[in-house]
Each structure stands twice: as structure tokens, then as C-alpha cells.
A and B are shown apart, each in its own frame.
Chain A
């Protein structure tokens, strides 16, 4: 069965520290997509990144970077030099291809608090 696990419920760091958010997924399919979303206090889920299962290249976007490792079924997210504005709940999500649907399976989320 498909599942996404974000073991870290809450993380608190001081501004400018680096922080890594873990995501482990389970799926029987060989083709799938993984996503990260950010949810600020306003409630809206903000799309950060999409990665398909055939692309294991790490990606960097400004202070954000993602490490996708199929061997360990992990898709971790690192924020470098964190800022107070990074404080939010972050969700990792999985979309399976053979199911032919846009359904996203979300992890429980990690609450990140960045203190000044």
C-alpha cells in the first residue's frame, strides 16, 4: 500500500541554521511522482517541487535543495541558512501513475519553527 512518512513532527531551529526535513515513501509502483508543499499559517498549500521516479538528480533552488534516493525510498528537503519566513508546515506527497488519478497521498507534515 502507498504511504508517506514524515517522522519529524516538529523542528525548531535558530535563524541561519541549516535544516533537513525527512520524507520516506512506500509504493509498489515503479513510476510515481513526489512533491513537497509548504503550508504557512494562512492555510494555503504552496507547491515547492515535483520529482518523477526516473529522475534521481538532486535539485537546488536558491536556499532549497532536495535529495531523492530511490534505494532508500526517501525524498528529503534541506533549507540552507533558514529564515523566519520559512516557518510553516511542510508536506511531502506521493502520486502513483498506474492509478490514473491525480490523488495525492500526503505525509503527516513537519512543523518548522525558525526563531530569530
Chain B
């Protein structure tokens, strides 16, 4: 099993540009989570999906952020327009439904907005 796959691993962009982060969850997992990690705020949950449906997006910082899960094997997190304060490491995680609910994290995308 390849685990959760995120792309790109690193992204450098200029303020105002659109950024799209991608995630492929582990096959068979029903839940998908997007997190953001910064030194100041630590690891924050942005949004999570269950069976491709967004369940809780209360962590999404503002309307510039949007996330989609068109099918069970793919999700995107989009920032439009990007700002320097969006610079962070963004992690995707997936989890099987059930009592254990262990989350498996990808390697993350390091985003730098100049």
C-alpha cells in the first residue's frame, strides 16, 4: 500500500495566484481530512469528508479556501487568491470507518506564498 499520496510536495507561488493541493487517500478509506500546520498555530483541522461528502468545514479559514472530493480516490484543496499568511505545511489524512478510526497522514505539501 502506497499510503496517502499528496502532491506537490513543495509549492512556491506569488501572492494572488491560485494554488491547488492534491490528495489521494488510501483505497477503501471512507474519511478524508485536510490539516494545516504552522509554527504559530500548530496542526489545525480545516475540513473533513465522509463518503465524499463534506461533514465539517468550520476550520476553513475563509472563503478563499475551498475543498472538493469528486470521488473516493481524489481530493483537492484550493486557495484562490493565495496570500503570504497561507504559507504552511498542508497535510491530508484518510481513515477507515469504524471504531479504530486511525488516521493515516500523507507527507504533506509545503506551501510558500511570496
A and B form one complex: no
- List A residues at the B interface (Cβ < 8 Å): none
